[in-house]
Amino acid sequence: MAPATWVERFDRGRARLTVRGRASAHWLDLARTPLLTCGILAGVLYVAMTLFVGLRWDGYSAADQTISELSAIGAPTRPLWTVLGTIYSALMIGFGWIVWTSAPHRPLRIAGALLFAQTVFGIFWPPMHQRVVLAAGGGTLTDTLHIVWTIGTGVFFMGALGFGAAGFGKRFRLYSLATMAIVFACGAWTGTYAPAIQADMPTPWVGVWERLNTNAFMVWIAVLAIALMRVPQPMVTDARRAQRARYE
């Protein structure tokens, strides 16, 4: 038998890629609803974490202390927060990935990629020390990196909100813009408490502002997941076909 020409080898390779692309799209269609549900579960879990984990720490005030203090080095709630945070991260990775790979519009896919990247980035979040340690001059590099990670997460959040706003109609766009305003304003106001936290001074309402910031975003995640679930399957399938077209 004569050896295959380069044209024949190319056609065979393209055929293999086509089969793989179709199989991948099939599995994405099957995984779509379960992984979108992960976004709802992640939002609910995180809101519950910010509100109720502190109940296991005598003297902790959800109104006057930050969320990060729940996972601070030496905090009694750190082990529980770490376990729940791992579950949250797994849910968000699944959600971000399915939005990234199967959303019907490019802005939504970019939003999914940002959510995926932010979650992976957050897995390596350096913990802060407790206030008394910071006030005594015991802060280290991890406390500086904690601030860097906080700023980076804010950038990811705002990017996901911005691209997500362009993915649906007017009502979702206005809702996303309102969420952006809440996230930005509450995040900026929370940041003004940093010197008082470093000095172990009272920080009234800092927990309220920070929870408004993060929980507003988590509610947006759940709303985005529900909105994507309501997208007709043919639209999603057409988007997948467009992505597969480069293989055919």
Q: What pLDDT was estimated at residue 3?
A: 53
> How is residue 60 annotated by DSSP?
-
Q: What are phi and psi of 73, to 5 degrees?
A: -60, 125
Chain-centroid distance of CA 116 in Å reads 6
Domain edges within the chain: 14-247
Q: Using one digit for the tens of pLDDT, what is the confidence trace for 98-127? A: 999 988 889 999 999 999 999 999 999 999
Mean pLDDT for back-to-back runs of 10 residues, the chain (248 residues): 49 44 61 94 96 95 97 97 98 97 91 97 97 96 96 96 92 96 97 96 98 97 94 60 49
Q: Which residue has the tokens 């009234």?
A: 204
CA-to-CA distance for 238 and 244, rounded, in angstroms? 10
Over the Cα atoms of the chain, what is R_g? 22
In this prediction, residue 240 carries a pLDDT of 52
37 CB-near residues (< 8 Å, 6+ apart): 225, 229
The amino acid sitting at 59 is G
Residues 6 or more apart whose Cβ sits within 8 Å of residue 1 = none
* Cα four-point dihedral sign 123, 124, 125, 131: positive
Question: With b meaning 16 or more CB within 10 Å and e meaning fewer, what string describes 35-72?
Answer: bbbbbbbbbbbbbebbeebbeebeebebeebbbbbbbb
Please, which residues have CB within 8 angstroms of residue 198's CB and are 6 or more apart in sequence?
A: 131, 134, 135, 139
CA distance linking residue 182 with residue 161, whole number of Å: 11
Residue type, 188: A
- Residue 199 phi/psi, 5-degree rounding, is -95, 5
Residues in the chain: 248
235 HSE (CA, 13 A, CB side): 11
